[in-house]
């Protein structure tokens, strides 16, 4: 093996430079774009809605929501009770309202969020992906390197021309590999120990649901419920309105309209 490496040194110099260029290209865009983030959030949103549909009528869920409602109104009786009554009278279903609100803070309303919403992040990367940090980074790099190499085969080769004529779906493979790599990044950042991705998603869901059913965001009532659920004294209607008008949160709110 050592002798063969020496003999081919001049031949392999060019591929080495190509590999370094490929590595540089894969490192040039390490941040997920808006599309990947919204795709990631939409996955969570669909799972959350499906869990609600499957479990909302179960005795266990009904008991959880009753317990959650009692805890909610026992802390801020007048504000929370008034907000619930007002939103219910304007067209919101109380069960769904409580379910969404529970996702803002605890696992009481949603088995999907069991053990997650009271703490940031999923416990570890190993739990989330089955890979530790080093393995995950290597996997993402290999996906992007593979996408780059497939593109080089597609461009200017007879094989690439064959694919373009008879199997053009395969020409999408590099884009799909990069999408997968960016979704891994988005999930890694979204579930990092410093974030509450699902909580922001739940607040966006609450805003979307209330607006759809009442015709208005109802900042005063919604903020009163979030304050009671999270016991965050500083969360008033002004704070909530500022959260709702943040461009990133506006995207999350709009996302719920596309989730069926």
Give the per-residue pLDDT at 75: 66
Predicted local confidence at residue 153, as pLDDT:
87
Which residue in the block uniquely carries the two structure tokens 């009554």?
Answer: 85
pLDDT at 2: 37
State the pLDDT at residue 162: 82
What is residue 6's predicted lDDT score, i.e. its pLDDT? Answer: 37
Enter the pTM of the model: 0.63
Q: What is the pLDDT of residue 243?
A: 92
Q: Give the per-residue pLDDT at 260.
A: 65
- C-alpha–C-alpha distance, residues 236 and 77, integer Å: 16
- CA-only gyration radius of the chain, Å: 24
pLDDT at 119: 45
Report domain extents, the chain.
Answer: 34-120+196-257, 123-190
pLDDT of residue 214: 95
In angstroms, the CA 181 to CA 188 distance is 11
pLDDT for 244 equals 93
What string of pLDDT tens digits covers the 260 residues of the chain? 433 333 333 333 333 334 444 333 333 334 445 666 777 777 778 777 787 888 888 898 888 888 888 877 776 667 888 999 999 999 999 988 988 888 877 444 444 444 444 444 455 677 778 888 889 899 999 999 999 999 888 887 888 888 877 777 788 889 899 988 988 887 777 666 555 567 788 899 999 999 999 999 999 999 999 888 887 888 899 999 999 999 888 888 988 877 76
Whole-angstrom Cα distance, residue 240 to residue 101? 14
Chain-centroid distance, C-alpha 197:
6
In the 3-class helix/strand/coil scheme, how is the chain assigned residue by residue? CHHHHHHCHHHHHHHHHHHHHHHHHHHCCCCCCHHHHHHHHHHHHHHHHHHHHHHCCCHHHHHHHHHHHHHHHHHCHHHHHHHHHHHHHCCCCHHHHHHHHHHCCCCCCCHHHCCCCCCCCCCCHHHHHCCCHHHHHHHHHHHHHHHHHHHHHHCCCHHHHHHHHHCHHHHHHHHHHHHHHHHHHHHHHHCCCCCCHHHHHHHHHHHHHHHHHHCCCCHHHHHHHHHHHHCCCCCCHHHHHHHHHCHHHHHHHHHHHCCC
Closest listed residue to residue 22, CA positions, set 184, 149, 157, 160:
149
Predicted pLDDT at 163 = 80
What pLDDT does residue 64 have? 83
């Amino acid at each position: 093996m050592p002798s063969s490496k020496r003999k081919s040194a001049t031949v392999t110099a060019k591929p080495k430079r190509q590999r370094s260029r490929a590595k540089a290209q894969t490192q040039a865009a390490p941040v997920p774009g808006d599309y990947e983030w919204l795709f990631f959030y939409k996955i969570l949103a669909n799972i959350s809605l499906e869990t609600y549909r499957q479990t909302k009528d179960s005795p266990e869920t009904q008991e959880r929501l009753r317990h959650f409602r009692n805890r909610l109104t026992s802390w801020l009786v007048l504000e929370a009770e008034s907000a619930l009554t007002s939103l219910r009278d304007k067209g919101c279903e109380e069960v769904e309202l409580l379910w969404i609100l529970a996702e803002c803070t605890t696992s009481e309303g949603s088995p999907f969020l069991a053990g997650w919403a009271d703490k940031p992040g999923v416990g570890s990367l190993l739990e989330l992906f089955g890979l530790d940090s080093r393995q995950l980074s290597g996997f993402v790099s290999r996906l992007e390197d593979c996408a780059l190499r497939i593109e080089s085969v597609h461009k200017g080769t007879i094989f690439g021309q064959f694919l373009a004529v008879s199997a053009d779906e395969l020409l999408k493979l590099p884009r799909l590999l990069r999408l997968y790599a960016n979704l891994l990044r988005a999930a890694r950042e979204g579930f990092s120990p410093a974030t509450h991705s699902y909580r922001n998603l739940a607040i966006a869901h609450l805003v979307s649901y209330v607006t759809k059913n009442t015709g208005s965001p109802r900042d005063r009532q919604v903020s009163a419920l979030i304050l009671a659920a999270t016991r965050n004294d500083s969360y008033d209607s002004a704070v909530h309105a500022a959260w709702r008008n943040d461009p990133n949160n506006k995207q999350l709110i709009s996302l719920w309209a596309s989730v069926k």
